[in-house]
Amino acid sequence: MYEFAWWWLFACLPLPLLVRWLWKPAQDERGIALRVPFMREFQREEKQAGRSWASWLTLLCAILGWLALVTAAARPVWVGEATALPVSGRDLMLAVDLSGSMQEQDFRVNRRIVDRLYATKVVAGEFLAQREGDRIGLVLFGDQAYLQAPLTFDRKTVRTLLNESAIGLAGERTAIGDAIGLSLKRLQDKPDKNRVLILMTDGANTAGTVSPLEAADMAAIEGLKIYTVGIGSESQQTRSMFGFSLINKSAELDEKLLIDIAEKTGGQYFRARDTDEFQRIYKELDRLEPVEQEAESWRPQQELFRWPLSLAFLLGLLAFVLRLETDA
């Protein structure tokens, strides 16, 4: 059916009459000519009759054009049939580390060496695509934690926002406690059962105002289950001018902290050394029972203001042309 989003703008319809009443019309300054009857007088009267008809047509176009303009300003929309949204699912928040260490290139995706954030985007994107019926939110954290997307059924938008994130966007350090606290705040008013946070990081807590373990204690009290993912490959042997050396690219990863956070909240810790190990999270989360939520519906809307706006433009142009002919 048709609706007007700003229906109150129809109160502007009497505005031209109000202007006509408040402002006096301009005086006709043309002089009075002496009329002498002869044959061409009849032709002049016919022209005056034509001008009178054109004046009325001009007035009609102006009235209809104003009506169309006000109608366009009131934003007419076509509202479609109600579409039922999923009424069962999980409230799932995804927290992704954007600190400087995520630029370490120790992952392989499609036979190409990529950095940790890129690998996280690929795997998390596939994960989001499979979460039909779940409400997904996105938190990005570095020096501080930021809510990038509130809980929503629009998984495509969440995935787009994740793909647009960049290393260092939230700072160079890692505020794990703040990320947990912000996620808990956004999930606090949701049903207690099956509120899940997936925390992905490759470092230790080096920033923030909230201790990670204190935040985990609050999450446990509120019934928030946290799955932690430690990102980064194991030690690698590299050749140097002095022979072979062992480099631990995940030396900064605080696995004990991530394990403690998961255990306190009834979650689980995953060690993501490569993209294959990310897949284990899918199976674990699929074992969770979905929580019943209040039924929600959505009605698609299509904006229609372009049509009355175009009509108002055409009528105004026609009135302008008729006015020129009348004055000629």
Nearest to 135 by CA among 155, 119, 152: 152
Alpha helix segments (H runs only) across 100-211: 116-129, 155-164, 176-187
CA distance 235 to 106: 10
CATH of segment(s) 85-292? 3.40.50.410
Locate 190 and state its tokens.
């949701």
Per-residue pLDDT tens digits for 67-117 = 999 999 998 888 877 766 555 567 889 998 888 778 777 677 777 787 778
Residue 170 contacts residue 219 (beta carbons within 8 Å): no
The chain-wide mean pLDDT, for the chain, equals 77
Question: Is residue 126 pLDDT above 70, yes or no?
Answer: yes
**pTM, rounded to two decimals:** 0.59
Per-residue pLDDT tens digits for 140-154 = 988 888 899 888 888
Look at 189 and 250; give whichever has higher pLDDT: 189
Spell out the domain ranges in the chain.
2-22+37-80+299-327, 85-292
Locate 197 and state its tokens.
């946070």
Nearest to 307 by CA among 66, 39, 44, 75: 75
Please report which confidence band the pLDDT of residue 280 belongs to, taking 50, 70 and 90 as the band edges: confident
3-state secondary structure of 88: strand
- Residue 247 has a pLDDT of 43
Please report which confidence band the pLDDT of residue 313 belongs to, taking 50, 70 and 90 as the band edges: very high
- Residue 125 has a pLDDT of 83
Question: Is residue 32 pLDDT above 70, yes or no?
Answer: no
Phi first, then psi: what are they for 317, rounded to 5°? Answer: -65, -40
Question: Is residue 181 pLDDT above 80, yes or no?
Answer: yes
Question: Is residue 28 pLDDT above 50, yes or no?
Answer: yes
Residue 232 contacts residue 273 (beta carbons within 8 Å): yes
Q: Which helix (H) or strand (E) holds 247?
A: strand 243-247
Nearest to 139 by CA among 184, 173, 205: 184
- Residue 245 has a pLDDT of 42
Any idea which residue has 């912000």 for tokens?
182
